[in-house]
Amino acid sequence: MPYPVYYATCAEKLPDHIANSCADSMEHGRVRSVALVHTSYLDALKLDPEDPTNWLAGIDEKLIIIIPETTGTYDGGTPVDGPGYGDLETSLAGYRHVIAYKDPNFKANCEFYNVIKHSRSWVPAIRLETQTLLFDKPAVIIPKAPVTEDLNADVVFDVELRISQPDIPCPFDTPADIFIPFAYV
Amino acid sequence: MNFLDHITDRLNDRLIGLFPCERRQAFGVVKLIRLNGDKSAKPKTVPGAYQIGTKNVNTYIIDDRFSVNSYFRLTSMSARRVPGGYGDENGRIVLTHNIALILCANMEDVGLRDDEIALAIQFGFPDRLSPDQYPSRDFYSIVFNVNTIQVAAEQIFREEFTNVDFFLGPEHALLKVNFTVESTMNKKCFQSLCNTEKV
C-alpha cells in the first residue's frame, strides 16, 4: 500500500496587472512630506486613509504628527532572504525599508527629535507628488544635524526611518489640505 | 520698502564708513533720463529718478560742492533656479541684480588717488548681508561681488551724461563700480510684490 502524499496548495488571489500609457498615470519623486502616526491610531486611519477627516482627528489628538515640507528618499525596501525549499535557493522573508528625509526646521525641533528618537510607537507615512504611502509597522527614528563648511548650506535635521515589514506600502491619493504648511505669519 | 532701496541703503551706510566726509551726497537707484529742454539745444541724458505718484523727475547731477557724490544704477536682472527645495518646491530662485555704483570724489578731501579709492571700495564692499539685515523673511542669502571698477573719468562721464559738457577737474576721481547682488529667496513666502516689510 503506497504512503499517502500530502499536497498543500496555496490559493492565489492575484489582482490584474494594469498597464496605462497616459502621462498622468506617472508619479514623480521626492519624499515631500512626512507624517508619523501613533500605533494606537493606525487602524482607525487605515479604514479610509484618503479621507482628510480621519487625518484631522488624529492630528487634533496629537496622534499624527505632520512634517509638511521635507526633501528625501525612500529606498523601496531591501529584500530580506529567508531559507529556500525544494528548487528555490532562497525565499523572500520580508523587506527592510529606509526613509531618509531632511527637515529644514532645525532651530525649533531639537527637543522634538531628542525625545522621539527613543520611541518605537510611530508609523511613518510619506507624501510623494500626488500619492501617499502609509507603512504598517513602527519605525526606528534616527535624527542627526550635520554642519558643513559651506556658508550657504542649510543646517537641517537629517532623519533616517527604518521599518521592517513584509509588504511594500501601497499608494493612495493624498488627502486634501493635510500636508500643507501652516499659514505664513 | 523697495528691495533695491534696501540694498543701496545698506551699501551707502558702508560707503559712509569708508569715506566719512562731512559734505557727502549719496543717492539710491537712478536711471538715465532724457531731458528735452530747450529746442535749440540737443537733448541731454542724465541720471535721475521718476517719482511714482507725483510724476516728478529728480535729476542727479554730480555736484562738486560735495566731497563725495554717489548713486546706483540697475543695469540688468536675471534669475536662475538652483537644485534643492522642500515639499513641492522646484528648487530655489537666485536673483542676480547687475548694478553700477558711480562715485565721484574730490581726491584732496578724501586724501586718496582714484586707484586708491578703487582699492578701498574693493576691500570695503560687504561680502554678504547678515540675516538681521535682510529686507524680509523670504531671503536665504544676499551676497555681493565686485566685478570691475572703471577709473577712466571722461569715459564714465560720457556713459552717464549725454550732451553735457565735462566739468570735472583734475582733482576729481570718477569711478564706476560694477557689482552683482545675488539673492537666494523663497518665492512662496513673499506676502505681496508691493510689501517686503519684515513681519
User: pLDDT tens across A64-91, in order?
Assistant: 999 999 999 999 999 999 999 999 999 9
Contacts of B50 (CB under 8 A, 6+ apart): B31, B33, B56, B57
Q: Phi and psi (nearest 5°) for B126?
A: -70, 150
* pLDDT at residue A184 tops 70: no
The single-letter code of the amino acid at B99 is I
- Percent of chain B's residues with pLDDT above 90: 45
User: Is the pLDDT assigned to residue B195 strictly greater than 60?
Assistant: no
Please check whether residue A106 touches B, CB under 8 A.
Answer: no
pLDDT level of residue B62 (50, 70, 90 thresholds): confident
Q: Is the pLDDT of residue A57 over 80?
A: yes
Share of chain B above pLDDT 70, in %: 92
Q: What does the pLDDT read at residue A14?
A: 87
Residue A25: predicted pLDDT: 73
Q: Do A32 and B88 count as a contact with CB atoms less than 8 A apart? A: yes
CA A13 to chain centre: 25
**B82, B86, B142, B185: best to mutate for the A interface, most A CBs within 10 A:** B86
Q: What is the mean pLDDT of residues B56-78?
A: 88
By C-alpha distance, the chain A residue nearest B184 is A152
Q: What is the pLDDT of residue A32?
A: 96
Give B152's contacts (C-beta < 8 A, 6+ positions apart).
Answer: none
**A-B interface: how many C-beta pairs under 8 angstroms?**
29
Facing residues of A150 across strands? none
- Contacting residues for A150 by C-beta, under 8 A, at least 6 apart: none
Buried b / exposed e across A47-65, counting CB within 10 Å, b at 16+? eebeeeebbeebbeeebbb
Residues in chain A with CB shorter than 8 Å from the CB of B89 are 69
ipTM higher than 0.90? no
Average pLDDT, chain A: 91
**Across B49-75, average pLDDT:** 86
Q: Which residues of B touch A152 (CB under 8 A)?
A: 140-141, 143, 184
**What are the two backbone dihedrals, phi and then psi, of residue B142, each rounded to the nearest 5 degrees?**
-135, 115
Mutation pick from A67, A69, A103, A174 vs chain B, by most beta carbons of B within 10 Å, is A69
Please list every residue in chain B whose beta carbon sits closer than 8 Å to the beta carbon of residue A154. Answer: 140
d(CA B199, CA B183): 19
Grid cell for residue B186: 523663497
Q: What is the pLDDT of residues B157-181, one digit of tens each?
A: 999 998 888 888 899 999 999 999 9
pLDDT at A174 over 90: yes
User: In the prediction, which pLDDT does A5 show?
Assistant: 63
Of residues B125 and B196, the one with the higher pLDDT is: B125
pLDDT at position A148 over 90: yes
DSSP string for B123-160: HHS-SB--GGGSSSTTEEEEEEEEEEEE--HHHHHHHH
Considering only alpha carbons, which residue of chain B is nearest residue A185?
B199
Which residues make Cβ contacts (< 8 Å) with residue B124, sequence separation at least 6? B14, B15, B17, B18
- B184·A152 Cβ contact <8 A: yes
